[in-house]
Amino acid sequence: MQTGYPIIPETITIHLGNPNDDGKNITIPFNGYVKNVASSELYPTWPENALRANIYAQISFALNRIYTEHYRSQGYNFDITNKATYDQNFMDDRVIFDSIGTIVDDIFDSYIVQKGSPTPFLAQHCNGITSVCNGLSQWGTLALAQNGYSPHDILRYYYGDEISIETDVPVGSIKESYLGTPQKMGSQGYSVKTIKNELELVRKNYPAIPGIKSENDIFDVDTLNAVIAFQKIFNLVPDGIVDKGTWYKLQSIYDSTKNLEDLIADIQLYEKSRAHYTDPLKLGDQGDSVKTVQHLLSTLAYFDPDISVLTVDGVFGPKTEAAMMAFQRKYGFTPDGTVTQSTWRALNENYANIINNLPFETFAGKAMPYPGYVLSLGLRNRDVETLQMYLSAIAAYYPWARDVEVSGYFDNQTYEAIQVIQKQTDIKETGIVGDATWLAISNLYNKIITQERV
C-alpha cells in the first residue's frame, strides 16, 4: 500500500482484458483515462451535477486501485483493467465527449474520501439497470440531479454522510510502496515497522510464523525468524531478506488476512443475534430477521461478486432487495426480492457451506461459528471433532465439566458432556447441539483462550 498523502498520478497503466488474460498493457495520462471511462459509461446529455457526481466516483475508484496496489500487490504489472466486471469500462481509442472532457479537466485533481482516512474511497458504482451494486447507480444520479441534488448531495445519498471531497490535489509521479531497498537484519525505518505489523497479523492464520516481541522499527532477530518462516510457507527463498518478491507477497497475504478478519468478526457478531424464519420479508420490512438476511447476503458477497455487501441495519431497503434478487437469480428462484421460507433456507445452506469450508486456522484464537445444522448422537464429521476439542478444553479449565475423547464421532460421552454444559448454562438438557448450545460452548471456550493469551 502506498504511504503518505495521496497525489494525483501523472499516468495510469491499464490492462486490456481480464486480469489473467494475455491482453496488452497501455500507459496513458490519468486525466485521459478518466475522460475515456466517463465517455464509455455516461451520457453527455445528462445534467452536469449527475456527470460530476459520477466522475468523482470514477476518479476515486481508479485512485483507490492505485493507492491500495490492488493488482500490483498480487504480482500484476498494471494498475487497473478495462473491464467493468472487475473495475471500470475503458475503450481504447474511443471518442471523448466534449462536455465530459471539460468536466474532467476541471475536477480530475479531486477525489472522494471517508472521514478519518486519506485513502481515495473505493466508490463502487454500476448503471443501476442491467447491473446493481452496493454503491452509486448511474441512472439513479440522473433522477437525483433532475430533482435539484448537487454532486455532493448525490454522493452522500449513495455513500453516506461520512464522505467528503478532496480538491486541488497535487499531480505527480507515484512510486510503488516497495522502495527498492531490500530490508534485512539491522535495517531500520518505516518499511521495517510495516513488515513487523503485517507479520503479526498474518501469523494469526499461520501459527508457524514466530511472534515479534519488539514494536520498534528495527529489523531484529525476531523479525528475521518471522520473515524466514513466512518465506518457507509461501515457497520463497528463505534468506530472511525482504526483497521486492517477499514484500509484495506479504502485502497480498496481509490484505487477504485483514479482509478475512473483518469477515470473521461480522460472522461472530451475527451468531449472537441470529433470527429464525417467521414470515416472508420484503421491501419496507424491519427487524432482526432483516438483519439476519443482510448478514447472510453480505457473507456470501465476500465470495460472490454478483452479490453486494450490505449495511446490517435491519431495514429492508432497495439495496437489500437488489442483493436478494441477485441471490435469487443465481440460485434459480424467481427474482422478486422477497425472502420466502425456501429462499431463507437456501441462504442459510450457502452460508453454512462457506463457514464449513473456511480453513480451520482461520478461527485460531476463537471458536468457529455454528455450522448451521443440529449435531446429535451418531454423527461423525469435522464439526463434531471441533466440538469435542472445545469440550475437552472446557473440561481442563472448569472442574464441573466432563472431558471427552476428540475422535470426530458423537458418542455417549460427548452426549453426556453436552448435557452437563446445557445444565450449567440453563439450556434444556437434550444432549444435542443446536445454535444456542453451540453459542454457549463457544463463549466458554473463547473465555479460556482469551485468558491463556493474556
Q: C-alpha angle with apex 281: 276 to 287, nearest 5 degrees?
A: 65
pLDDT at 358: 61
- The full set of domain ranges for the chain reads 8-172, 190-259, 273-360, 373-453
Question: Element (H or E) spanning 112, and its range?
Answer: strand 111-114
The amino acid at residue 77 is N
pTM, full prediction: 0.45
Res 163 pLDDT > 60:
yes
Higher pLDDT, 445 or 351: 445
**Tens-place pLDDT, residues 202-232:** 887 777 889 998 888 899 999 999 999 999 9
The amino acid at residue 24 is K
Q: What is the mean pLDDT of residues 379-390?
A: 88
Whole-angstrom CA distances from 223 to 182, 205, 228, 325 are 14, 17, 9, 48
Taking each helix axis from N to C terminus, what angle separates 244-271 and 190-202, rounded to the nearest 10 degrees?
50
- What's the pLDDT band for 275 if we cut at 50, 70, 90? low
Q: 436 by DSSP, 3-state: which?
A: helix
Q: Please state which of the four CATH numbers 1.10.101, 1.10.10, 1.10.3470, 1.10.1660 is assigned to the domain occupying 190-259.
A: 1.10.101
Rounded to the nearest 5°, which phi and psi values hold at 372?
A: 105, 5
pLDDT at 15: 95
The share of the chain scoring above pLDDT 70, in percent, equals 87
pLDDT at 3: 44
The CATH classification number of 373-453 equals 1.10.101.10
In this structure, whether the domain defined by 273-360 belongs to CATH 3.30.70.590 is answered with: no
Joined grid coordinates for residue 259: 479482509
Q: How far apart are CA 64 and CA 26, in angstroms?
A: 19
The share of the chain scoring above pLDDT 90, in percent, equals 45
User: How far out from the chain centre does Cα 180 lie?
Assistant: 29
The 10 Å Cβ neighbour count of residue 312 is 20
The 10 Å Cβ neighbour count of residue 297 is 27
Q: What is the mean pLDDT of residues 374-389?
A: 89
**Tens-place pLDDT, residues 431-444:** 999 878 988 898 89
The 10 Å Cβ neighbour count of residue 25 is 14
